[in-house]
Structure 1
């Protein structure tokens, strides 16, 4: 099982994205747990996170976040606006699968 955490400013838009990703993962029969939280809650959820996805509006925080979690085995990426804007859960899941290959 992979635990995926999405973060955004308040957790609302990432909540919609997470719901669409859960639907896409279920359709593909992937064993993913997908949660959405505000960036202020990030540290509370790191122990149970394998993959961290950042909303594009927080891309300016990517390096700071990577620095904070450098001692952990967590893959981190910013979700491109082209995926996040339309809340494209299927493409976000593909992004996660691609991250796992690298």
Structure 2
């Protein structure tokens, strides 16, 4: 499964991506996690789940509209500091979003 994590500038998404990779590795989940910024998000082709930083909630409707064209599931991360984000919970959020989209 391919997960894209987006935030405003790309820094927070990098931090979250590291936590997601660690949680996936501990569980034995086969995932690829890529960080990025919402403003530089070009294509959702091949992305199974788009995790959106909580501070970008206002952009969620347009991101969901774009994601619908590629079958990409979209989930909003909690509006907390990336340092406080639990990688296990973020991974659960991504896995549940993908399952709900099927």
Contact 1:55–1:79 under 8 Å retained in 2: yes
Instruction: Say whether residues 1:32 and 2:20 are aligned partners.
Output: no
Query: Offset of 1:8 from its aligned partner?
Result: 0.4
**Larger displacement relative to structure 2 (8-17 or 67-76):** 67-76
Gaps of at least 5 residues in structure 2 are: none
Instruction: Say whether residues 1:90 and 2:102 are aligned partners.
Output: no
Structure 1 residue runs of 4 or more that deviate by more than 2 Å after TM superposition: 81-85
Provide the aligned C-alpha RMSD in A. Answer: 1.6
Q: What is the CA deviation profile of residues 49-84 of structure 1, one whole-angstrom value per residue up to 9, with x for unaligned ones?
A: 110010001010000111223221100011112584
Alignment coverage as a number of residue pairs: 100
Contact 1:83–1:91 under 8 Å retained in 2: no
User: Which residue of 78, 81, 89 corresponds with 2:79?
Assistant: 81
Query: Offset of 1:87 from its aligned partner?
Result: 2.5
Residue 80 of structure 1 aligns to a residue whose secondary structure is: coil
TM-score by length of 1: 0.88
**Larger displacement relative to structure 2 (31-40 or 85-94):** 85-94
Give the structure 2 partner of residue 3 of structure 1: 2
* Distance (Å, rounded) in 1 between the aligned partners of 2:95 and 2:50: 13
Instruction: Say whether residues 1:50 and 2:48 are aligned partners.
Output: yes
Residue 42 of structure 2 aligns to a residue whose secondary structure is: helix
Give the structure 2 partner of residue 68 of structure 1: 66
